[in-house]
């Protein structure tokens, strides 16, 4: 009989951070089990979590370093791979300076990996060009809430949903994307909590909600401002809280005056519904606001976050259990990657790179000179590459060809790179473009910490040996540092990285592996003042310069590309419960892969009828940027005029179509709305994958 062990870990998918045990039989992950004592997941997992054993199966894993050669990839030794990378980096830095290279780290890698990545960029390569995929999910959250509250993270804890009297979910589909937390919301609703959903799509929670405000895509600010207008007009605002803890109320009140009258025309939501939502949210003793990428992925993303902050602050729904402004984070460690300073403008713990004192402290601690100006964002790096000023990129744990906006643009940029290094588990679409591919260890094959969306830092343990020559990300990052002549990254183990990081990161300063092992982790800030961590932020003062929250007037901005006569439908993006990100892990499950066709377009029955489309028919979808083919899923979950696509499928990647018009503050692309035309494919023609379409186009 086999050896059988059960190792405590953290689910590798979304930002909820469910406890998961890895059941290992003879060096193979046989199955997983939920942790019944876990404070968030309480014995539960979603379909993705349950399928984890398939996700890291070794069948198609990359197990040795690979170097691109004219005839294809060649397996090489680690020494040769690292030497090739370092020669490339040195050449570019010699010719064009350190800002011609950069790193895109991974929101699925550990805190330790991310700390190592930004330290490699800053202390060894001497550039602040470091970013990660939060750029395209919650960078507006970090930027927006930093301005208003002083801290860009979920203010409350996941289980606060059971303490709330009202839950407002806006631009988020938690039962599909954060399913265990979405389930908690359902449970709270069944136990009597009121539920309001604001979303262009009729989500599962919208169907259960007391109120569903089905607004037009991209009109969040107009709707929130209308609620604020109504709240202030009806005197439902919390004057005492505003007087004691906020500033800027008069300007805000002035700016939203009249918003209600204009709202229905812009948002498509009836005044009466807005009135009801405004009353419920403001008058419930404890109202908890949760939001997702339906707020952030617009050209008005940062202002959308600020609008939500205005709403919560005006009603005094911040700083207490069961309230707060709560962004739902998409990756298991996107919070951690942000916390670790894998952002071009901040060191670990959101300490600004252009702050003299901060700069001095990190220069001293790392005993080296550091760049004084902010670096490029990930999209800045791709743009810089097209322009020829950015030439070398190290990227890991992110398939940007499938998940970043405007696929053709991303592909062209990466192909144009003089040196592209990709560390991955499997041969993703991005890895296929690399000059050097490094075999990475999966979460089950290393130890480290992940920080979930409620700021909970949790330790997880190695369950399996990495396949072949794969190693943890921080280990190959250290090898590159050594190749560049630096011992800055020479740590003995992940614990040593954590200790160095915690000493430099005030919000993590009270944490150690030993303390994190007890009670399933600690929530930041965890320091001398809060040795047991912090369940609720901003209880007594805000993290701003003067301790007061800022109310900042913001105004409706139209989406960049509305539907028109050539592209008569609006396309939005969504995610499925069954798949995660680019699908590189979840699509290895035979069950999840069976569940949906490889690419879907959700379309309203009215639109389908008008276009002569029947269920599962092949359809062509065209925008100003690209064309793809997929299958129609007819549903009134989307309203007439709106179609929606998940982005999990490499065969039919929605980023062929999406717009890369950006939020001016954070460069967040407008992934949630662009204009498309849809046509039925001829009878009997199955949808062609994007690869085939590109080949056919190149051949014609």
Partner 1 sequence: MQTYRLDDPSVLQKHLAGKYRVYQMATGTEGNASWQPDVDGESISGGQRPPLSSAKTLFFSEQENLFSFDGECFRETLPTPEPFAVFGVHSCDLTAIAYQDQFFADDPYYQARRKQALLVGIDCITPCENGFCPTVDAGPGVSQSCADLILHCRQDGSWWLLVCNDKGVRAITGLDLDRAEDTALQTREQAIDSCKQQFADDGYLIDGIRVLHEEKMPEKFWQDVGLQCLACSGCTILCPTCSCYGTREKLVDDNRVEVERFWDSCLYESFQREASQHNPTLEPGQRVRRFWTHKFGNEFVETFDRYGCVGCGRCEETCPGVIGVHSIMKRLSKYA
Query: Which residues are near partner 1 by CB under 8 A?
Result: 1, 3-8, 19, 21, 23, 30-31, 33-38, 42-47, 49-50, 53, 59, 175-176, 179-180, 182-184, 186-187, 190, 204, 207-208, 517, 520, 577-578, 590-591, 594-595, 615-616
Q: Which is nearer to partner 1, 180 or 226 (CB)?
A: 180
Q: State the nearest-atom distance from the C-beta of 414 to partner 1, in Å.
A: 30
Contact (Cβ atoms closer than 8 angstroms) between residue 249 and residue 314: yes
Q: How far is the CB of 207 from partner 1 (least distance, A)?
A: 6
DSSP structural state of residue 106: -
Least spacing, CB of residue 11 vs partner 1, in Å: 12
Q: How far is the CB of 535 from partner 1 (least distance, A)?
A: 20
- Residue closer to partner 1 by CB (options 219, 426) is 426
Nearest distance from C-beta of residue 511 to partner 1, angstroms? 18
Nearer to partner 1, 240 or 518 (CB): 518
Task: Tell which residue, 358, 586, 459, has the closest CA to residue 19.
Answer: 459
Smallest separation (angstroms) from partner 1 to the CB of 58: 12
C-alpha to C-alpha distance for 465 and 54, rounded to whole angstroms: 16
Q: How far is the CB of 41 from partner 1 (least distance, A)?
A: 9
Looking at the Cβ atoms of 38 and 672, the one nearer to partner 1 is 38
- To the nearest whole angstrom, how small is the minimum distance from the Cβ of residue 31 to partner 1? 4
User: CB-wise, 42 or 383, nearer to partner 1?
Assistant: 42
Q: Which two tokens stand for residue 563?
A: 């539907």
* Nearest residue (CB) to partner 1, 44 versus 623: 44
b/e map 126-153, b = 16+ CB within 10 Å: bbbbbbbbbbbbbbbbbbbbbbbbbbbb
Closer to partner 1 at the Cβ: 194 or 359? 194
Say whether 674 sits in a helix, a strand or coil. strand
Give residue for tokens 């359902």. 186
Taking the complex as a whole, the smallest distance from the CB of residue 462 to partner 1 amounts, in Å, to 14
Question: With respect to partner 1, which residue has the nearer C-beta, 540 or 594?
Answer: 594
Other residues' Cβ atoms within 10 Å of the Cβ of residue 246: 21
In order of 28, 150, 301, 354, 557, the CA distances from 554 in angstroms are 53, 18, 11, 27, 9
In the block, residue with structure tokens 């590159």: 480
Sign of torsion, CA 200 202 208 211? Answer: positive
Cα–Cα dist 562/571, whole Å: 10
Burial state string for 293-331 with b = 16 or more CB within 10 A and e = fewer than 16: bbbbbbbbbbbbbbbbbbbbbbbbbbbbbbbbbbbbbbb
> Quick one: three-class SS letters along 553-620?
CCCCCCCCCCCCCCCCEEEEEECCCCCCCCCCCHHHCHHHHHHCCCCEEEECHHHHHHCCCCCCCEEE
Nearest of 500, 504, 502, 509 to residue 527 by alpha carbon: 509
What does the alpha-carbon distance between residue 450 and residue 457 come to, in Å, rounded to a whole number?
6
**Cis (ω within 30 of 0) for the bond into 485?**
no
496 versus 591: smaller Cβ distance to partner 1: 591
- CB nearer to partner 1: give 202 or 275: 202
Closer to partner 1 by CB, 38 or 201: give it.
38
CA distance 89 to 98: 9
Q: How far is the CB of 497 from partner 1 (least distance, A)?
A: 22
Which lies closer to partner 1 via its Cβ, residue 54 or residue 476?
54
Beta-strand runs (E) in 441-498? 448-451, 456-460
Cβ contacts of 610 within 8 Å, gap of 6 or more? none
- Least distance to partner 1, CB of residue 21, Å: 5
Look at strands 674-680 and 618-622 and give their pairing. Answer: antiparallel
Min CB(331)–partner 1 separation in Å: 19
């Amino acid at each position: 009989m086999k050896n059988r062990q059960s190792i405590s870990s953290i689910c590798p998918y979304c930002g909820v951070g469910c406890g998961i045990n890895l059941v290992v039989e003879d060096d193979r992950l046989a199955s997983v089990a939920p942790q019944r004592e876990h404070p968030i997941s309480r014995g539960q997992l979603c379909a993705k979590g349950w399928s984890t054993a398939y996700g890291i199966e070794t069948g198609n894993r990359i197990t040795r370093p690979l170097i691109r050669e004219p005839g294809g990839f060649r397996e090489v030794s680690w020494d040769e791979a690292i030497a090739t990378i370092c020669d490339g980096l040195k050449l570019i830095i010699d010719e064009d300076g350190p800002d011609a290279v950069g790193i895109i780290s991974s929101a699925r890698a550990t805190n330790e990996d991310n700390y190592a990545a930004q330290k490699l960029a800053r202390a060894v390569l001497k550039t602040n060009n470091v970013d990660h995929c939060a750029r395209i999910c919650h960078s507006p959250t970090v930027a927006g809430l930093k301005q208003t509250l002083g801290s860009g993270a979920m203010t409350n804890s996941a289980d606060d949903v059971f303490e709330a009297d009202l839950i407002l979910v806006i631009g988020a589909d938690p039962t599909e994307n954060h399913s265990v937390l979405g389930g908690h919301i359902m449970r709270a609703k069944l136990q009597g909590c009121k539920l309001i959903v604001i979303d262009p799509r009729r989500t599962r929670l919208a169907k259960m909600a007391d109120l569903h405000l089905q607004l037009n895509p991209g009109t969040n600010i107009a709707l929130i401002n209308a609620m604020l207008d109504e709240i202030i007009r009806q005197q439902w605002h919390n004057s005492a809280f505003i007087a004691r803890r906020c500033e800027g109320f008069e300007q805000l009140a002035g700016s939203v005056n009249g918003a209600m009258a204009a709202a229905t025309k812009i948002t498509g939501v009836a005044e009466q519904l807005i009135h009801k939502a405004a009353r419920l949210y403001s008058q419930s003793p404890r109202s908890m606001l949760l939001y997702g990428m339906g707020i952030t992925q617009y050209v008005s993303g940062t202002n959308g976050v600020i609008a939500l902050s205005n709403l919560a602050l005006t009603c005094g729904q911040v700083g207490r259990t069961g309230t707060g402004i709560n962004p739902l984070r998409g990756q298991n460690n996107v919070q951690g990657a942000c916390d670790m300073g894998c952002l071009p403008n901040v060191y670990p713990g959101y300490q600004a790179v252009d702050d003299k004192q901060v700069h001095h402290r990190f220069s001293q601690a790392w005993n080296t000179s550091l760049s004084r100006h902010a670096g490029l964002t990930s999209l800045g790096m791709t743009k810089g590459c097209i322009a020829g000023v950015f030439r070398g990129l190290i990227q890991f744990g992110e398939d940007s060809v499938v998940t970043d906006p405007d696929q053709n643009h991303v592909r062209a940029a990466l192909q144009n790179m003089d040196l592209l290094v990709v560390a991955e588990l499997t041969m993703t679409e991005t890895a296929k473009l690399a000059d050097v591919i490094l075999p990475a260890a999966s979460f089950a094959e290393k130890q480290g910490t992940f920080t979930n969306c409620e700021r909970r830092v949790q330790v997880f343990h190695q369950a399996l040996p990495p396949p072949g020559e794969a190693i943890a990300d921080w280990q190959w990052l250290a090898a590159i540092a050594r190749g560049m002549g630096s011992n800055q990254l020479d740590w003995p183990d992940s614990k040593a990285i954590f200790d160095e990081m915690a000493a430099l990161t005030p919000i993590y300063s009270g944490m150690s592996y030993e303390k994190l092992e007890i009670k399933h982790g600690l929530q930041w800030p965890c320091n001398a003042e809060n040795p047991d961590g912090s369940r609720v932020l901003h209880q007594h003062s805000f993290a701003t310069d003067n301790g007061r929250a800022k109310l900042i007037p913001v105004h409706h901005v139209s989406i960049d590309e509305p539907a028109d006569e050539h592209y008569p439908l609006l396309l939005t993006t969504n995610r499925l419960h069954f798949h995660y990100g680019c699908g590189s892990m979840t699509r290895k499950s035979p069950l999840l892969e069976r569940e949906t066709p490889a690419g879907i377009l959700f379309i309203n029955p009215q639109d389908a009828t008008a276009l002569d489309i029947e269920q599962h028919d092949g359809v062509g979808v065209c925008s100003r940027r690209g064309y793809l083919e997929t299958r129609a899923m007819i549903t009134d979950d989307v309203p007439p005029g709106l179609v929606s696509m998940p982005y999990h499928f490499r065969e039919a990647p929605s980023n062929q179509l999406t717009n890369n018009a950006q939020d001016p503050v954070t460069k967040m692309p407008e992934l949630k709305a662009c204009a498309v035309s849809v046509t039925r494919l001829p009878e009997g023609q199955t949808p062609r994958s994007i690869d085939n379409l590109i080949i056919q186009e190149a051949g014609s």
